[in-house]
Amino acid sequence: MLDRGFHTNAVVKKLVELNTPFIIGAKKTPRIKRILKGLKHGFHIIPLDVDGINVSLVARWVDGE
């Protein structure tokens, strides 16, 4: 698990290249906010493309947040 300060596309690409499992907290950028908009209560796994690398955004929606 990495702090969201490490959340750069270069870090994600390197971890995928090294076949290293990882979890990084996503920054709430306009793109992430758009993806999360309209989610219902519960856990969600959303495919996400990061500079040509396929990763999964995992979100837990509780009490409207």
Residues 12-32 as b/e (b if ≥16 CB within 10 A, e otherwise) read: beebeeeeeeeebeeeeeeee
What is the domain partition of the chain in residue ranges? 25-65
Q: What local confidence, expressed as pLDDT, does residue 47 receive?
A: 92
Q: What local confidence, expressed as pLDDT, does residue 23 receive?
A: 82
pTM recorded for the entire structure: 0.64
Q: Is the pLDDT of residue 65 over 60?
A: no
Q: Average model confidence (pLDDT) for the chain? A: 82
Tokens representing residue 7 in the block: 């959340």
Q: Is the pLDDT of residue 30 over 80?
A: yes
Q: Is the pLDDT of residue 54 over 60?
A: yes
